[in-house]
Homo-oligomer: A and B are copies of this chain.
Amino acid sequence: MFLRNVWYVAGFSADLQPGQRLGRTFLGEPVVLFRTVGGNLGALQDRCCHRAMPLSEGHVAGESIRCCYHGLEFDTRGTCTRVPGDEPIPRLAFVRSYPIVERDHVIWIWMGAAAAADPASIPRHPWHQDPKWTWNPVYYHIDASWDLLVDNLMDLTHLAYVHAGTIGGNAEMHFRAQTQVVREGNKVKVTRHMPNSIAPRTYADAAGFTGRIDRWQEIEFEPVLVRVNTGACEAGTGAYEGSREHGFAMVVLHGVTPETDRTTHYIWSIATNAGTDRGIDQVVFEQVAATIREDQAVLEAQQRRISDTPSGKFVDLRGDVGSHHARRLLRALLEAETKPADVALE
């Protein structure tokens, strides 16, 4: 069971130039994303209504996408605009369309009831628009269920073990960090502060720290993405009071979009204020990308074990408080979505 009435990250704007198309399965449903010659986005069921040919095997033709088998064309609303050799167009010749919106260089798709799709509810990500920041979009295909990825991101105590060779650092420091978990509406926020820490080498390289630093890790979940804001300022210069512009920061947007119940589109970006001097932002991008490959290996090993021991149980630990809140929130939303309306009235 997937949450449907929510905006999912479908890709980045740059993935679809005018005239391009892309086949991706979301929530078990094959979808073709395309951008018309005129620049408009479309998201249609990726199955021609005639003989089930994937439309993503075809081509964009003007404001439509054309099936490669018998040449049927469909516009961004899924209306069939042409059936070669067959006029008038048969009444049943159409395919399902999905609401699709571009915002902050991210493409968002709505897999639920179209009438409920409100673009105003799309999560914003201003770092993609801020000229003081540089950023990089990435796509990873993960052979693991999306909720394992949420768990992973909400509990950063795994850094000491999974990322010991990269960003991990000292295990004890991670476990001693001051951690706060709060739920605000449809968001779960985990805040971890490590005041007066020793700077890891990446931080020193990127920001030129020479003394102690005040570090933060701020994780924000909302269905279904996780934004992780990490960074540091020189100790005692106001990092925990909101004055951070003089420090070093990275903001990773983790789009967590189910492909099937066992595979996930992990569509993420990394933004930093480290600047482009000596290519320091590229170094940050590469280090984060390598770190996330380590997570991928863990997630896929978990999924294999879960798949072959389906009756196995899970035990929650103290570090899981963030993912525990996220799961409760998701469960409540899913129940609200699947509850029949008439039962709600009684």
Contacts and interface: CB of A to CB of B under 8 A. Distances in A.
Contacts of A53: 298, 301-302, 305
A58 to B, nearest CB: 9
A51 interface: yes
A194 to B, nearest CB: 14
A46 B83 CA distance: 47
A70 interface: yes
A174 B305 CA distance: 47
A313 to B, nearest CB: 7
Nearest to A317: B86
A155 B305 CA distance: 37
Interface in A198-250: none
A123 interface: no
Say which size band chain A's interface belongs to: 35 or more
A309 interface: yes
Interface string A144-184: 00001001000101101110000000010011100000000
A90 B308 CA distance: 25
Contact of A162 (B69, B92, B315): B69
B47 A317 contact: no
Given A83-B317, A85-B175, A175-B84, A47 B162 contact: no
Given A93-B315, A174-B85, A317-B90, A52 B309 contact: yes
Interchain residue pairs A-B with the least CB separation, the first 5? A85-B175, A86-B318, A92-B315, A49-B315, A71-B161
Given A49-B314, A69-B161, 20 more contacts: A25-B308, A30-B305, A51-B151, A52-B314, A54-B304, A57-B301, A68-B298, A69-B298, A69-B302, A70-B155, A70-B161, A70-B317, A70-B319, A71-B160, A84-B160, A84-B171, A84-B175, A86-B318, A93-B315, A93-B317
Interface of A: 25, 29-30, 46-47, 49-54, 57, 67-71, 83-86, 90, 92-93, 148, 151, 155, 157-158, 160-162, 171, 174-176, 298, 301-302, 304-306, 308-309, 312-319
